[in-house]
């Protein structure tokens, strides 16, 4: 009852606060009704039907170009498209983008971002993502970036394949680059409010923007949401938690209640202030200050037991496994105190972040200088059940992670009226991660310890300090007006100093966890990554290109590893990941700017692909490198906007991607038998094999075929009112979720349908919308692990495969939305 009342009070308070925020924003916008916006950030005014295909401007090569002119495989979204499809997070973006997926995890790095079948799985927090996220020119490599909300954007670009030259840190698989909106030159006030019915989610946005003086502009944007329900149902039951006291030899019993019945119960607030100073045509300064607060009532809210050998959980046979939106989660045992726990001992996940960024642009006659300086910090605290089953041996986990980063970049681009120009830059970054974890495992306690350690099996403390210095340069040669050749290289030097310690281990578990033994690693990495591109434009509407690229992601240290008696530094430290290969493409704009057809092909090799392996049978976490993997594929993109049918937009994509390990002697998956391939590196201790050969096997979350098709039709129904109908279908072929070839982890092919209906005024001032996502209610998994307390006999003739826990995408959502702009 106490938990229900606490949650109810919190949500009532947040509902009142959210309603007040929206009401205040509405009052502010109403006061400015006589100041219509004429300088929207998007490429065309709201409600205006473009003549033929719209032009999307990108900065993929650190200079302004049309998406059709840039010699890069890119999917670009304008501000209008992002608002139209309500793409306010990386997870929402992934749902609409073939070949890109995001798997949300409750621990480790917090996410698995995958592009073209290459990504970094989520178990180890020290492994940065192979798909880099860049916000306003600032690199964010942590998986926790998925907890950041993205709204009020000026544009977003998905750059596929290695991108080392322009985005110098850890962009081996691609880049997600987004730009937040800047101040407008005339006053702009917008307000938006909506309600999503499945999770009972109320949200609101407000933006105020305009000039302060002839040289100073401002923009203030806020977004808040409060979820009264959730997407996933927790079917756990009240469970006894027995505990044996190693200090007294007595047994004790505690009670563990189910965590929130409907999760995630998300509460979110984002605020951003942008100030610009534009004293002359040669100089512009932009300051952006932002903060983000995100809370859910269960860090493992999307962790579903979806595949088991006999259809039921091995740890609790009454719990059915299935492809549904059902979980089994317990709160920590009552009557005990824990580090980083809430006062009422509930599961939770709290993410807090803030960022300050200054961009300075200065133009001389033939040289432009840009500097970007940023400081960002985030804190993540959580409590969750890592057994994913309401069993007496369930495993409460408590985490506290802080991360700080300071970076500065200075680059120069020449614009001489000559065949040859240059791009050059330097980059510096300093980072610090502090990771603390406490785990209750094995149903033991020690009353001789402090209250916070009473039922803990172990605690961890780890830290990594990093430093990066990088320089890059590029020659841009316009051979003839139709032909451009570019050649460049980036040098990067990085250091990472790390340590790991388990300050406390219950005496009964020293055979699994080693107490008070410190491991440290002082790592130094450096690399040269070249980039060569040839571009040919036989006409204004056709671009042909060929490129050779290399990229690099530094090695690191698994801060959340497990230090057992046999563990060494090599189980924590891992080597750099490198990529090299080529791509070719042709981009065409045909039929008098009505039809767009783009085609691309690529072949890349990724050496030492960084992976982490969670051994659920032996409770071990190992960071490792795959020998190498390759991605080969072709992509086709089309868009048709006929002038004969005003307001109609037809678009489609088709992609074939073959992502395979080339040479990988890998750990065996949980419960893999000798007959199933666990037949390498025989150990005489117990006559058990420990390795398998995954050469030729697919990588994780790598469907061979993905496709999408959609339409948008915006037509007038009165002189002042238009109705917009849209529908988009996305197809994904089947794929293995596990990076280690677990057959039962396979996710079958699926189709996701999104649709929307909007009524808006011709000038774009008012809009009412109904937006549906995943209307087919497809269950699909974008990351996962072996379930603890399951599987046995790995590397023997009589092994039992482990159950599979999947990190599941969001089910069907339907929301109503109202917006106004003045």
Q: How far apart are CA 170 and CA 341, in angstroms?
A: 34
At residue 7, does pLDDT exceed 70? no
User: At 563, is the pLDDT very low, low, confident or very high (cuts 50, 70, 90)?
Assistant: confident
Domain count across the chain? 1
Q: What tokens does 83 get?
A: 């608002």
Structural domain of 526: 2-821
pLDDT by residue (tens digit) across 121-137? Answer: 887 888 889 999 999 99
Give pLDDT, residue 409: 97
Full DSSP string of 415-461:
--SSSEEEEEEEEEEEEEEEEEEEE--SSEE-TTS-GGGTT-SEEEE
* Residues contacting 562, CB < 8 A, separation 6+: 512, 513, 619, 620, 621
Q: Which of 556, 679, 688, 564 is nearest to 624 (CA)?
A: 556
Give pLDDT, residue 51: 66
444-445 and 239-245 strand pairing: parallel
Higher-pLDDT residue of 83, 751: 751
Higher-pLDDT residue of 16, 719: 719
Residues across the chain: 822
First vs last Cα of the chain: how many Å apart? 46
User: At 620, is the pLDDT very low, low, confident or very high (cuts 50, 70, 90)?
Assistant: low
| Residue pair 520/479 in contact by the 8 Å Cβ criterion | no
Q: How far apart are CA 507 and CA 446, in angstroms?
A: 8
Give pLDDT, residue 276: 98
At residue 23, does pLDDT exceed 90? no
Q: What tokens does 711 get?
A: 């339409």
Give pLDDT, residue 9: 38
Give pLDDT, residue 20: 38
Mean pLDDT for 543-572 is 90
At residue 302, does pLDDT exceed 60? yes
User: At 39, is the pLDDT very low, low, confident or very high (cuts 50, 70, 90)?
Assistant: very low
Quote the percentage of the chain above a pLDDT of 70.
93
Q: Which of 439, 405, 147 is nearest to 266 (CA)?
A: 147
Buried b (16+ CB within 10 A) or exposed e, 498-533: bbbbbebbbebbeebbbbeeebebebebebebebbb
At residue 223, does pLDDT exceed 80? yes
Which SS3 state, helix, strand or coil, does residue 20 take? helix
pLDDT by residue (tens digit) across 463-488? Answer: 999 999 999 999 999 999 999 999 99
Torsion of CA 251, 255, 259, 261, to 10 degrees: 140
**44-48, 52-56, 211-215, 428-432: least confident range:** 44-48
Distances from the Cα of 709 to the Cαs of 80, 425, 728, 759, 802, in angstroms? Answer: 19, 40, 6, 23, 37
pTM across the whole model? 0.90
Mean pLDDT for 424-443 is 95
Q: Which of 476, 399, 391, 394 is nearest to 438 (CA)?
A: 399
Give pLDDT, residue 10: 43
Q: Which of 150, 139, 101, 98 is nearest to 122 (CA)?
A: 101
Q: The CATH number of the domain where 442 resides is what?
A: 2.40.170.20
Give pLDDT, residue 617: 62
Mean pLDDT for 568-576 is 89
| Residue pair 217/182 in contact by the 8 Å Cβ criterion | yes
Give pLDDT, residue 501: 95
From the CB of residue 379, how many other CB atoms can be counted at a distance below 10 Å? Answer: 16
At residue 503, does pLDDT exceed 70? yes
From the CB of residue 654, how many other CB atoms can be counted at a distance below 10 Å? Answer: 17
From the CB of residue 365, how many other CB atoms can be counted at a distance below 10 Å? Answer: 7
Mean pLDDT for all residues in the chain: 90
Mean pLDDT for 290-299 is 94
pLDDT by residue (tens digit) across 397-407? Answer: 999 999 999 99
Give pLDDT, residue 26: 38
At residue 32, does pLDDT exceed 50? no
Give pLDDT, residue 29: 36
| Residue pair 53/596 in contact by the 8 Å Cβ criterion | yes
User: At 118, is the pLDDT very low, low, confident or very high (cuts 50, 70, 90)?
Assistant: very high
Quote the percentage of the chain above a pLDDT of 90.
77
């Amino acid at each position: 009852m106490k938990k229900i009342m606490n949650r109810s009070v919190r949500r009532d308070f947040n509902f009142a606060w959210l309603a007040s925020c929206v009401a205040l924003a509405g009052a502010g916008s109403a006061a400015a009704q006589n100041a219509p916006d004429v300088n929207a950030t998007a490429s065309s005014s709201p409600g205006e039907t473009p003549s033929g295909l719209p032009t999307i401007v990108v900065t993929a090569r650190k200079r302004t170009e049309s998406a059709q002119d840039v010699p890069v495989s890119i999917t670009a979204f304008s501000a209008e498209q992002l608002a139209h499809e309500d793409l306010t997070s990386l997870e929402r973006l992934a749902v609409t983008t073939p070949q890109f997926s995001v798997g949300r995890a409750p621990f480790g790095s917090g996410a698995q971002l995958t592009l073209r079948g290459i990504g970094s799985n989520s178990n180890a927090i020290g492994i940065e993502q192979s798909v880099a996220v860049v916000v306003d020119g600032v690199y964010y490599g942590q998986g926790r970036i998925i907890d950041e909300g993205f709204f009020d954007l000026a544009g977003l670009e998905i750059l596929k394949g290695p991108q080392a030259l322009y985005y110098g840190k850890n962009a081996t698989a691609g880049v997600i680059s987004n730009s937040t909106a800047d101040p407008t030159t005339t006053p702009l006030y917008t307000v938006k409010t909506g309600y999503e019915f499945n999770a009972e989610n109320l949200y609101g946005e407000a933006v105020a923007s305009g000039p302060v003086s002839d040289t100073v502009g401002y923009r203030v944007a806020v977004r808040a949401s409060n979820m009264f329900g959730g997407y996933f149902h927790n079917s756990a039951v009240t469970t006894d938690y027995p505990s044996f006291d190693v200090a007294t030899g007595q047994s004790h019993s505690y009670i563990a209640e189910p965590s929130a019945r409907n999760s995630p119960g998300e509460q979110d607030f984002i605020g951003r202030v942008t100030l610009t100073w534009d004293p002359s045509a040669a100089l512009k300064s932009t300051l952006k200050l932002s903060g983000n607060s995100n809370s859910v009532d269960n860090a493992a809210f999307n962790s579903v037991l979806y595949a088991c050998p006999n259809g039921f959980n091995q740890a609790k046979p009454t719990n059915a496994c299935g492809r549904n939106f059902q979980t089994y989660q317990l709160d920590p045992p009552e009557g005990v105190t824990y580090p980083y726990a809430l006062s009422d001992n509930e599961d939770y996940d709290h993410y807090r972040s803030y960022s300050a960024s200054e961009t300075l642009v200065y133009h001389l006659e033939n040289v432009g200088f840009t500097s970007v300086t940023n400081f960002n910090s985030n804190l993540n605290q959580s409590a969750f059940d890592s057994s994913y089953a309401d069993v007496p041996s369930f495993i409460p986990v408590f985490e506290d992670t802080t991360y700080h980063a300071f970076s500065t970049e200075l680059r120069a681009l020449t614009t001489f009226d000559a065949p040859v120009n240059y791009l050059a830059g330097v980059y510096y970054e300093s980072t610090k991660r502090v990771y603390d974890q406490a785990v209750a495992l094995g149903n033991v306690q020690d009353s001789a310890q402090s209250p916070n350690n009473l039922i803990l099996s172990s605690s961890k403390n780890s830290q990594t300090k990093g430093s990066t210095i990088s320089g890059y340069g590029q020659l841009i040669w316009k051979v003839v007006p139709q032909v451009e050749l570019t050649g460049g290289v980036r040098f990067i030097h990085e250091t990472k100093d790390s340590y790991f310690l388990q300050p406390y281990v219950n005496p009964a578990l020293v055979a699994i966890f080693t107490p008070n033994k410190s491991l440290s690693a002082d790592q130094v990495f450096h690399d040269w990554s070249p980039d060569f591109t040839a571009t040919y434009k036989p006409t204004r509407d056709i671009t042909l290109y060929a490129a050779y690229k290399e990229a690099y992601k530094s090695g690191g240290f698994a801060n959340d590893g497990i230090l057992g008696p046999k563990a060494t530094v090599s189980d924590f430290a891992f080597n750099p990941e490198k990529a090299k290969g080529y791509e070719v493409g042709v981009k065409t704009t045909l039929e008098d700017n009505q039809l767009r057809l783009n085609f691309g092909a690529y072949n890349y090799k990724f050496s030492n692909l960084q992976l982490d392996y969670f051994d659920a049978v032996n409770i071990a976490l190992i960071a490792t490198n795959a020998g190498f993997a390759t991605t080969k594929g072709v992509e086709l993109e089309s868009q048709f906007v006929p002038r004969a049918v005003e307001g109609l937009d037809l678009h489609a994509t088709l992609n074939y991607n073959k992502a395979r390990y080339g040479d990988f002697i890998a750990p065996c998956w949980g419960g893999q038998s000798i007959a199933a391939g666990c037949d390498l590196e025989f150990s005489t201790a117990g006559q058990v094999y420990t390795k398998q050969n995954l050469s030729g096997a697919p990588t994780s979350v790598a469907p061979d075929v993905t496709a999408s098709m959609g339409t948008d039709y915006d037509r007038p129904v009165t002189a002042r009112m238009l109705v917009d109908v849209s529908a988009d279908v996305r197809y994904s072929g089947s794929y293995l979720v596990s990076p280690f070839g677990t057959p039962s982890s396979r996710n079958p092919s699926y189709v996701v349908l999104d649709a929307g209906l909007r009524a808006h005024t011709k000038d774009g001032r008012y809009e009412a919308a109904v937006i549906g996502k995943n209307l087919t209610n497809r269950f699909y998994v974008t990351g996962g692990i072996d379930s603890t307390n399951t599987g046995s006999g790995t590397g023997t003739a009589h092994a039992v495969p482990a159950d599979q826990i999947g990190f599941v995408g969001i089910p069907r959502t339907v929301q109503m939305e109202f917006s106004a702009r003045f």
